[in-house]
Every structure is written in C-alpha cells, then in structure tokens.
Amino acid sequence: MIMIFGEQPPVFSKSPNAPGSSRPAQSKPQSTPYPSSTGMSVAFPMPTPGGTAMYPNSTPSYNPNYNSNNNNTLSITDQHIRISLLSAVESRITDRALEFEQKSKAEEEVLRKTNEELQAGKQKLDRYMSDMERDCREMESNLTVLKEKSEQLKQSIEQMSWDSEKGGLDVDNAVTPTAPLYRQLLQAYAEESAVEDAIYYLGEGLRKGVIDLDTFLKHVREQSRKQFMLRALMQKCRQKAGLPPV
C-alpha cells in the first residue's frame, strides 16, 4: 500500500499556469527497501484525467446566468412604459367620466326641478286665464244687461216727461206695483216698517217715563208678533217672485 501510494498518489496538484485538461506529471519510481510487487492488484482505481476531485471545493460556484436574468428583470422595456401609460390614461379617463357623470346628474336634477316649477307655473297661468275669460264673459253679459236697463230707463224717463206735459203724474199710481204679488210684498214691507217704528217709540216712552212697564210689555208683545208674521209673509212673497232672501 505504501509503495502504491508513493508511486501513484490519488491526490495531485494543479499548476496555475497549466491548463485544466492536462495530465499531471508522472513521478519516477524510486527504489525502496521493500520488495516491489508488480503482479499485485490495485485496490483503488487510478484517477482519470479531467476527473472531479473527491474533496469539496472551498470556493463557491458562480452562476453567470443569475445576473443576466436580474438585469433583464430590472430593465424597463417599451412594453412596461406602454402598459404604465395605458393605465394612467385609463385612470384619468375614468375619473373624468365619473366627474362628467356626476355633473350631468346634478344638471339633470336642476333641470327636472326647473321643469316641475315651470309645469306648476303653467297650470297656475292656465287657471288664471280661465278665470279671466270667465270674468270677461260675465262682464260682457252684465254690460249687455246694463245697456238694456239703460234703454228701459230712457224710455221710462221719456214716458214720464210726456205724461207730465200731458196732465201731470199720479204719484200713488207710479209707486204702486201692477202685479198682485209685488203689491202684497210692498204692503207687507210698509206695515213691517211701521211696526218697527212703533216698537222704537214704545221704548222711548218707557225710558222717559211716559208709560209704565206693564203697558210697554203688552204692546211690544203684540207688535213683535205682528212683525214676525209680516216678515214671514215678505220672505214667502220674495221666494214666489224669485227674489233673493233678505
């Protein structure tokens, strides 16, 4: 074993100037005091040229592809710039679209409220126009009636003037109605006015001490009953004649 390791050691040194693929120089056999055994089989195989050493290398291995990949990863390409620009433009357009949408909704709400106010104003104007048209029709009708009454008054004045020139005007016949219903109404009104005056003067006599309380109450009770009947008769006559109630 010692002779074999001495002649062909398994570890060999590599010169710094020699290429990595060259064979190590073979050492010459030296004479030893031990007998050489040429026919003995070698227990360990001989190292092959260019083989890897069995001992670990203390220097860490270097991967040249690592830095190149990092350089490729850290570099900014046109595609990255294009994607960044597209993202920025998309974000800007989205913001502007949202702003425009909110502004449009606000303007739409204002226009809707304005439309509602205009519609309400239109309804009021239509109602006012209808009222004015109705008032105009009533005024035209009243104007026509006034013209007719004015013509009747003119004719009555002419007739009275002609009667006065002819022989005088009878006042009683002028104020007395021709229809029985109106004559009854006029007579009831005159009697009711007389009763009211009588009640007033009865109160004045009681206040001045001309009549006593019993006499006042007796006559006032009679006149009040008569006044009530006359007013009921007047109301009934007005209903028959189609006159408004008093």
- What DSSP line would sit under 140-197, residue for residue? HHHHHHHHHHHHHHHHHHHHHHHHHHHT---HHHHHS-SSHHHHHHHHHHHHHHHHHH
41 domain residue, yes or no: no
**Are 97 and 123 in the same domain?**
yes
Query: Can you give the pLDDT at residue 50?
Result: 44
Tell which of 115, 141, 169 closes a domain.
169
**Are 96 and 145 in the same domain?**
yes
Question: Taking the mean position of all CA atoms in its chain, how far away is CA 47?
Answer: 95
Instruction: Tell me which residue has tokens 């960044």.
Output: 84
Query: Can you give the pLDDT at residue 78?
Result: 84
Query: Can you give the pLDDT at residue 60?
Result: 45
Distance separating alpha carbons of residues 221 and 125, to the nearest angstrom: 59
157, 174 in Cβ contact below 8 A?
Answer: no
First to last CA, the chain: 160
For 185, counting Cβ atoms within 10 Å of its Cβ (0-12 exposed, 13-18 middle, 19+ buried), the class is buried
Tell which of 112, 135, 169 closes a domain.
169
50, 21 in Cβ contact below 8 A?
Answer: yes
215 domain residue, yes or no: yes
Query: Can you give the pLDDT at residue 105?
Result: 92
Q: What does the pLDDT profile of the chain (246 residues) look like in tens digits?
A: 555 555 555 555 555 444 444 444 444 444 444 444 444 444 444 444 444 444 444 444 444 444 444 444 557 788 888 888 899 999 999 999 999 999 999 999 999 999 999 999 999 999 999 999 999 999 999 999 999 999 999 998 888 777 767 666 666 676 778 788 998 999 999 999 999 999 999 999 999 999 999 999 999 999 999 999 999 999 999 998 888 887
> C-alpha distances in angstroms, 96 versus 107, 232, 238?
16, 86, 82
Distance separating alpha carbons of residues 150 and 157, to the nearest angstrom: 10
Range of the domain at 103: 80-169
Q: Which of 238, 202, 243, 205 is nearest to 223 (CA)?
A: 202
216, 202 in Cβ contact below 8 A?
Answer: yes
119 domain residue, yes or no: yes
Distance separating alpha carbons of residues 169 and 44, to the nearest angstrom: 178
Query: Can you give the pLDDT at residue 9?
Result: 56
Overall domain count for the chain: 2
Query: Can you give the pLDDT at residue 151?
Result: 93
153 domain residue, yes or no: yes
